[in-house]
Structure 1
Amino acid sequence: MEDVLDVYELPYDPQHPVVCMDEKPYQLLGESREPLPMRKGSDQKIDSEYVREGTCSIFVFTEPLGGVRHVNVRKQRTSVDWAEEIQYLVDIGYPNVEKITLVLDNLNTHTLASLYRAFPPEEARRIARRLEIHFTPLHGSWLNIAEIELNVMTRQCLHRRIDDFEKLRSELAAWERERNTRSSKIRWHFTNNQAREKMASLYPKIEKSNI
């Protein structure tokens, strides 16, 4: 926890951006009956029944202090999917920076080994050398600022049923462009000093010596 909070206290440095990454499973849902259109003084009416159209995974990267984020949708969330997203982050998202400080949850696919499953060794190592990785602790995903971005995305873009993979990708791309145009930033305020005070029960008790 303290390692991640140290990262969040770093001053903004465009050559060493702090980027947070997270994933969200998403279920594509269609309408079992045609919705009734909106009328003056009345919202659109949809039936409580729906049609399952499959599942997918949403990947989100957000630079809290830079006001930039990137969202993509994939059919699944394998180690190769993660590795290809990281390659995009390094080569397309931040091609000219010295190093990317990456904060992410400690999932089984979120390892440098995934790069070697997806790419030849020299390419995997090239990507890995551009990264400085910091993992949130187990049961500590609330420390990942990308979760805040996912919550905003859910409220602003995913609050209705979307039944098609390509439509979902298009809707999220439009949301990303609008939010990036506004340069929406996320400012984290919880510090290590506050953690030591408010979460004192989680720290080991040190017995003072009488000597």
Structure 2
Amino acid sequence: MKKYIVTLTAEERQDLHELIAAGKAAAKKLAHARILLKADAAEGGPAWPDGRIAEAVEVSVATIERVRQRFVEQGLEAALVRKKQARPSRERALDGRAEAQLIALACSAPPDGRKAWTMRLLADTLVELEVVPTISDETVRRALKKAN
């Protein structure tokens, strides 16, 4: 017995059909729309079992269960789109201001006794100038590569 039963209204069903027909959305959103249409247990809905939906839409049964749950608990829009992360997985080491300071530093003359800036030297100088508490030379390299 299913814990989360999808029952679409006629309007929701129409919206999902239009979304799929247009084909102008992310693949995951279109797949979730197909899942909801196939899982629809309302009168006149196909009410396919999860295994059959998984085979037809080419997703896992767990995905179907999650889409069903989000539809029942949070509504149609939440079931179609990926949920937002509470916060980014990690903070950026260099914000816009710090990146600008890095670029200005890299474009300036190197310290006495040096022919050119090294990534390590740039990273150490950013820490000395208290632009950032810590930074790796690889982060400096990536930021400079992105700036080019």
Under a length normalisation based on structure 1, what TM-score does the superposition of the two structures give?
A: 0.18
Q: Which has the larger Rg?
A: 2
Under a length normalisation based on structure 2, what TM-score does the superposition of the two structures give?
A: 0.23
Q: Flag the structure with more relative contact order, 1 or 2, with Cα contacts below 8 A and sequence separation at least 6.
A: 1
More helix per residue: 1 or 2? 2
More strand per residue: 1 or 2? 1
